[in-house]
Amino acid sequence: MIRPFQGMVPKLGSRVFVADSALVMGDVELGDDASVWFNCVIRGDVNFIRIGARANVQDACCIHVTNGKFPTILEDEVSVAHNVMLHGCTLKRGAMIGMSTTIMDGAVIGEGCLVAAGSLIKEGFVAPPNTLVSGWPATVKGELKEAQKALVAKIWTNYVRYKEAYFRDGWPLAESPKVEDERPGFEHGHPYP
């Protein structure tokens, strides 16, 4: 389900997949070839959410923001595995977030990082690029090994392929709803609720 909120309409690139049981609402942008899988909630109601090209947000993830303070930004080719909670954080290009991880306000996960499954990333934590981060709460374990880099690179490419398989199977391309009085988003002056 893709819904406006206070005149702010999700903006979608080309060949985007949004599973019908996912909710994408408000000030949200999804880049070309992005995919959002079953039962996700992506709620851009009190700040904005940006999801880059070829990024994937797998089943049962929840993405939210903090009113007036922290948007959530996923750059291109980010993978977010099943059951992840992202709140007010930034994931740099090509990062991969393992299943059932929680990432809190102001955290920044560097380019190409691997966050191990089941991690807790505390507020304001900064992960240097291309590192393995793990634990509850998480610490930086060091530079990624070759096998870990290969895993990070494989998942987003797999998901671009998977959503194309769904389109071939008859699942619809995601479309933005039409609204009469569309309004600009938070970056362009929409008042925070």
Ligand X SMILES: CC(C)(COP(=O)(O)OP(=O)(O)OC[C@H]1O[C@@H](n2cnc3c(N)ncnc32)[C@H](O)[C@@H]1OP(=O)(O)O)[C@@H](O)C(=O)NCCC(=O)NCCS
Least distance from ligand X to the Cβ atom of residue 181, Å: 40
Stretch that binds ligand X, among 36-44, 109-117, 122-130, 176-184 (CB under 6 A): 109-117
Q: Which of 26, 81, 86, 16 is nearest to 52 (CA)?
A: 16
Chain residues 128-147 in contact with ligand X, contact rule CB under 6 A: 132, 134-135, 141, 145
Q: Which of 61, 60, 98, 56 is nearest to 77 (CA)?
A: 56
**Contact call for residues 138 and 119 (beta carbons, < 8 A):** yes
- Give how many residues touch ligand X by CB under 6 A: 15
Cis ω before 172 (30° cut-off from 0): no
Question: Pattern of binders to ligand X over 31-70, x per CB under 6 A?
Answer: ----------------------------------------
Asked whether position 118 contacts ligand X by CB under 6 A, the answer is yes
Determine how β-strand 131-135 pairs with β-strand 138-143.
antiparallel
In this structure, the dihedral spanned by the alpha carbons of residues 46, 28, 188 and 105, taken in order and rounded to 10 degrees, is: 50
3-state secondary structure of 52: coil
Query: How far apart, in whole angstroms, are the C-alpha atoms of residue 181 and residue 178?
Result: 9
Stretch that binds ligand X, among 25-33, 103-111, 148-156, 171-179 (CB under 6 A): 148-156
Q: What angle do CA 167, 17, 72 make, to 5 degrees?
A: 165
Least distance from ligand X to the Cβ atom of residue 98, Å: 3
Task: Write down the residue that tokens 């398989």 correspond to.
Answer: 165
Nearer to ligand X, 47 or 134 (CB): 134
Chain residues 154-183 in contact with ligand X, contact rule CB under 6 A: 155
**For ligand X, which residue of 8, 36, 80, 81 counts as binding (CB under 6 A)?**
81
Least distance from ligand X to the Cβ atom of residue 102, Å: 13
Asked whether position 117 contacts ligand X by CB under 6 A, the answer is yes
Nearer to ligand X, 3 or 141 (CB): 141
Please provide residue 36's backbone torsions phi and psi, each rounded to the nearest 5 degrees. -130, 120
Where does this chain bind ligand X (CB under 6 A)? 81, 98-99, 114, 116-118, 132, 134-135, 141, 145, 148, 151, 155
